[in-house]
Structure 1
Amino acid sequence: MTTMPPTPAAPAPAPTGPEPAGGRPRAVLALARFETRELLLQIPVLASLLLYVATAAWQLYSGHEGWRTVPGREGMADYPALQDADRGTQGDCLLLGVALFVCANRAVLRSRRSGTDRHFDVLVVEPWRRTVAHALSVVPFAAFTALVVAVRFGRAALRPGAVGDGSLSELAAGPLAVLLFGVAGVLLARLVPSAWGAPLFVIALYVAVASLLVLTEGAHWAEWLFPTVSESGADPLPSDLLGRPAAWHALYLAGLTGTLLGAAVLRGGGRTPRIKALTALALAAMVTGIAGQSPAASPELDAARARVSLHPERYETCTTRGATVYCALPEWTGRTDDWAEAVERVRSLAGGDAAGRRLTVRQRVEARYGPENDPTYPPLSAPGEVTVLTRWGGTRVPEFAAGLASVLVAGDEKAGGEVCDGRMVTVMWLALGAAPDPTAALRSVRLDDGVTGSAYVLTPTDGLHMDAAQTTVVRELLARPRDSVTAAVRTHWTDLTAPGVSTSRVAELLDVSLPEGTGAGDPCDV
């Protein structure tokens, strides 16, 4: 009897049905996590990320603008206008965006450089899904940017001196720009599968941007095609007078990012109806955003800006404290305490009737030219009216004090701006004598940031002029005990504030010896 060997079992047939739900999405997410770690290990991304965090920390705890030290600006961060603070978060993240553009582009081309493209054909993750994974690898960096933006803005909003209102759309511009740069790098790799694609594209983009700026001469619609538009230069404007199409711009950035991603996925072979529909929707959002952000300021906005600029008294809320009336625009009413503190410091040093004279501190803003200009304010001619601006802190405090002191000495801002004789010594003593650090205040209020020689003194309006002799006398007075100088100023107040009094006479009354050859005998010798 012959025993037959057992028949081997037939191999199980390969599954022919659809892949289990969630299999490919999980693979895409796993690949995205891997690519995020790889991006983080790239030197350009890591260095730019560290620099971005360091810059944010520096600006968070100081009043400096970036890494540039600005004398007297340290205290300005304590009095932020939130409608400026939100767009102030946008520009710093662009370097991170550029680094992600280059490194995401290189990540997509890694398999081509290594010669492993052909091996991907046997994987279940198709090329278009790998494209999605590379795009998703940039999302954590955009999310981290959003976190830094939120911390910076939150810190500003929680400061006791904060005023105004921020915009969520303005805050979204930075993270959206980072995401846009990363997705653009992925798309470029699909369109130009070469390591030279990214550098050449950056050069071409630079040339295109420069040409656009020249051809359009800085037109509003052209400026808003850039990822971030952080207009600056003017004093903070009321929120409703900014006229920035921030919401339309956020829609434009989101639509542009979605359009580039859709193009990259389509290029990778993902031509499903759903992807085509989503790409078309993103394109429509981008076009809608461009259409919404392109028009310049409307005639109604221009008229509103002019009204507030020329007649701020119609929109101000006024409160009376002692002999001073404080008139502030709606968003700045919380600053009255800070203004009053500065006013009382100056009044405490004055003599005659100046200590109790009726004053009106009136807030002014130049909004007719939008948030990007270098405003000037002509002096007020009404007796006792003093200009205060929408920016406060740092050098703005001694500037306001100098303007206030000139009104106490000369009667009004217009006459105070013409003071150039020995009364300048009295003006500067009143402005700086009670400051926490008088010498530092003298340095910050002068245009040359010095404490010797002649200089231009900053005020909210036209400013003042100090000659070398007046500077010498003021510096000597600031070095003496405050009480003794205050007593002397009050005793000789009438002579010290007489029009045409010479600097040498003021020095004599205040017992200050002037070096020979200072030329202090002639009034208004600048």
Structure 2
Amino acid sequence: MSAVMEATAPPVVRGEQRRSWAAVFALARFEAREMLMQVPVAVTLLVYVGYTGWKLLFPPDGMDAYPALQDVDRATQTTPTLLGFVLFLAVNRAALRSRRRGTDRHFDVLVMEPWRRTVGHAMSLVPFGVVTALVVLAQFTWQALRPGAVGHGSVAELAVAPLYVLLCGAVGLLIARLIPSVFAAPLAVLGLFTFLMFVSTGTSGAQWSRWLSPVVSENSNSTLPSDLVGRPAGWHALYLGGLVLVAAMAAVLCAPRGVHGDAVFRLRHRRGWSRPAAEPHMKTAPRPFGARPLADGGRTWPLKAATAGALALAVTGAVGQSGGVSPELATARERATVSPEREQSCVRHGSSQYCAFGEWSARTGAWAGVVDRVQALAGGAAASRPLLVRQRVEARYGLDGDAAIAPSATPGQVTVGTRWGGNRVPEFAVAVASVLVGGDEKTGSELCDGRVVTVMWLALGRDADPVADLKNVRLDDSLSGPAIALTPTNPLSMSAGQTDVVRELLSRPRAEVTSVVKSHWAQLTAPGVKTADVARVLGTEVPKEADECGK
């Protein structure tokens, strides 16, 4: 009586599986620590964290002192780009370490399959993503707690930076598994850069193509209300998350096949020895005690299904972010631009009324302070004239638009923008003064006679450093010669003679000039008054140049 014996693989013990995954976690910790000890990674991470911390501890003045959170969330995306690039090269180099040093064959005697080692490399990226997320969160929280902060941020926008860092590392790992060469990573960087340049310029900046880039920057001189920004941030975060999973899982799928615990057979094969033949009563050759058959654990159907699901997520995000501006958003932008009064609430400070979009309601007090300061220098009825300060924005072209706001012809209405601080404060003061002198913004922007001197004195006369503000409010940052003074709408033109008179007035005692302006208000604001006559009344040197309007 004979029996046929079949060699079967020993069952996998659950405790042994736990030990295998514990080894993966240990490898991930080791690889993360090794990457952190590399000089390029350590220096880049230190610069990223240090630069962000320096900006938080020593915030700049000016417009940055009054952040809009719908702009702050996007500002967190560009700084970690260098970290992602360095991590791309570091992970690629770490995955090829054994190949460079010729130690691949020694892995065959280890209990960890090649696909698990790839998982360990992928998991080593997580600490860097977490650090990036913490830095982004600290940066946004710090700005949100500032007294002048307005608006609302987006969680999806904040997720772009850590997802970008993870994506760079995952792609570097995938390239190491597809092309196991140290020269592949630099060539891949060049190829990816060329691809991104093509999708941004070669397709004329189409909505579907530019959002294929991991980081999409949209810089604008104005800030839009958060509900009018219109960026597909949620779809883009889904797109990036899907790409991260696809790259990581594809790297695991591309991991080389290996033998788990069957080193003797592999050693004989490399040395040309023949594999021991099976006994007549056995269907397969015997294996050493505890050995396992060829492992293909990284290519099991659950992983393939998960990779397909991640690819579906990335495609869904790519399709969702390519939809462009919806009709509802276009209508809302049109309404906010043409008829802002339908979207605003108004409050009264003193005799003037201040209308703002909901997110800027708390800033009306700062606007009222500027109006009171300008009117304190005015004479006649202008000193107590009620004004309507209305916030206006050009939103029809989105964040890419840079169109100027047309001046209003409504008597007594003054335009204020969505940005504040820095040069925006004296620019708004010039707009208030031009309305007090000219009657409305349209007329005030067309002034070219001696009334320009009165306008600039009213706007800057009570500033802490009026000469510096005069320089800042002029487009060419000059204190002599002709120039244009900026306002929230159309600029105000200044001749060389008017500049000289204003500069001299700002250097004289404030009370003295204020008294003369108030007592001669009607003469200084009369239409057609010459700059030379204004200079004689105010007691300054009479300019030789004629006014730009020829009067």
| TM-score > 0.5, shorter chain as reference | yes
Are 1:142 and 2:129 counterparts? yes
Q: Structure 1 residue 21: deviation in Å? A: 4.6
CA distance in 2, matches of 1:90, 1:417: 39
- Name 2:348's counterpart in structure 1: 320
1:15 Cα deviation from its structure 2 partner: 11
User: Aligned equivalents of 1:61 and 1:349: distance in 2?
Assistant: 38
Separation of aligned partners in 1, 2:54 and 2:337: 34
Per-residue CA deviations over 1:493-518 (Å, capped at 9, x if unaligned) read: 1111112222222111111124xxx5
1:50 aligned residue (46, 50, 62)? 46
2: CA distance, partners of 1:523 / 1:480: 25
Task: Measure the CA separation in 2 of the matches of 1:523 and 1:17.
Answer: 92
Name whichever of 252-261 and 467-476 sits farther off.
467-476
Question: For residue 305 of structure 1, what is the aligned residue in structure 2?
Answer: 333
Closer, same or farther: CA 272–490 of 1 in aligned 2, 3 Å: same
* Structure 1 position 18, deviation (Å): 5.5
2:477 equivalent to 1:449:
yes
Give the alignment of 1:376-387 within 5 angstroms.
376-387=404-415
| Alignment match of 1:419 (pick from 440, 447, 462) | 447
Residue of structure 1 equivalent to 2:149: 162
Change (3 A) 1:124 1:463: same
- For the residue of structure 2 that corresponds to 1:353, the secondary structure is helix
Bigger CA drift: 255-264 or 462-471? 462-471
Deviation at 1:168, TM superposition (A): 0.6
Instruction: Tell me the distance in 1 between the aligned counterparts of 2:127 and 2:54.
Output: 23
What is the letter of the counterpart of residue 80 of structure 2?
C
Aligned mates of 2:50, 2:533 — CA distance in 1: 53
The partner residue of 2:526 within 473, 498, 509 is 498
User: How far apart, in 2, do the equivalents of 1:422 and 1:144 lie?
Assistant: 59
Measure, in 2, the Cα distance between the counterparts of 1:502 and 1:61.
Answer: 50
In the alignment, which of 425, 429, 433 is matched to residue 401 of structure 1? Answer: 429
Residues 145-294 of structure 1 aligned to structure 2 (within 5 Å): 145-268=132-255, 270-294=298-322
- CA drift at 1:436: 2.2
**Aligned with residue 510 of structure 1, among 525, 531, 538:** 538
SS in 2 for 1:270: helix
Aligned to 2:53, the other structure's residue is in SS state helix
Q: Please, what is the CA RMSD of the aligned residues? A: 1.8
1:243 is paired with a residue whose SS is coil
Indicate conservation of the 8 Å contact 1:145/1:175, yes or no: yes
Cα deviation for residue 60 of structure 1 reads 3.0
Cα deviations by residue, 1:101-147 (Å, 9 ceiling, x for unpaired): 01111111111111111111111121111111111111111111111
- Structure 1 residues without counterparts, runs of 5 or longer: 1-13, 65-73
Does the 8 Å contact 1:326/1:360 carry over to 2? yes
- The alpha-carbon distance between structure 1 residues 18 and 311, as it changes in their structure 2 partners (threshold 3 A), is closer
Matched position secondary structure for 1:434: coil
Equivalent residue, structure 2, for 1:36: 32
Equivalent position amino acid for 2:405 in 1: Y
Shift of 1:440: 1.9
Alignment check: 8 A CA contact 1:235 1:375 kept: no
Question: 1:15 and 1:286, CA in 2 relative to 1: closer, same or farther beyond 3 A?
Answer: closer
> Counterpart of 1:26?
22
The equivalent residue for 2:94 is 107
Q: Which amino acid counterpart does residue 348 of structure 2 have in structure 1?
A: T
CA distance in 2, matches of 1:129, 1:266: 10
1:400 and 1:63, CA in 2 relative to 1: closer, same or farther beyond 3 A? farther
Structure 2 Cα separation of the partners of residues 385 and 456 of structure 1: 22
Please name the residue that 2:293 is paired with: none
Question: Aligned pair in 2 of structure 1 residues 63, 469: CA closer, same or farther (>3 Å)?
Answer: farther
Are the equivalent residues in 1 in contact too, given 2:199–2:210 (CA < 8 A)?
A: no
Q: Distance in 2 between matches of 1:249 and 1:162?
A: 26
Alpha-carbon distance in structure 1 between the residues aligned to 2:373 and 2:335? 33
| CA distance, structure 2, for counterparts of residue 428 and residue 63 of structure 1 | 30
Using the alignment, how far apart are the partners of 1:50 and 1:35 within structure 2? 19
The one-letter code matched in structure 2 to 1:246 is: A
* Structure 1 residue 444, shift from structure 2 partner: 1.1
Indicate conservation of the 8 Å contact 2:495/2:547, yes or no: no
1:322 to 1:153, Cα distance in 2 relative to 1, 3 A = same
State the shift of 1:63 in Å.
6.4
Other-structure match for 2:549: 524
Segments of 5+ residues of structure 2 without an aligned counterpart are 1-9, 256-296
Quote the Cα distance in structure 2 between the aligned partners of 1:152 and 1:491.
52
Between 230-239 and 345-354, report the one with greater CA deviation: 230-239
Shift of 1:434: 1.1
Displacement of 1:428 in angstroms is 0.7
Whichever residue aligns with residue 277 of structure 1, its letter is A
Q: Is the 8 A contact 2:497 2:546 kept in 1?
A: no
> Per the alignment, in what secondary structure is the counterpart of residue 415 of structure 2?
strand
Question: Per the alignment, in what secondary structure is the counterpart of residue 371 of structure 1?
Answer: helix
Distance 1:125 1:154 in 2: 42
What displacement does 1:402 show? 0.5
In structure 2, do the counterparts of structure 1 residues 350 and 61 end up closer, same or farther at CA, with 3 Å as the change threshold?
A: farther
Q: Match for residue 485 of structure 1?
A: 513
2:120 aligned partner, one-letter code: A
What letter is aligned with 2:243?
Answer: L
What is the deviation of 1:46? 2.1
Change (3 A) 1:259 1:215: same
Aligned pairs, how many? 501
Q: Structure 1-normalised TM-score?
A: 0.92
Identity, % of aligned pairs? Answer: 57
Deviations 1:137-177 (A, max 9, x none): 11111111111111111111111111111111110011101
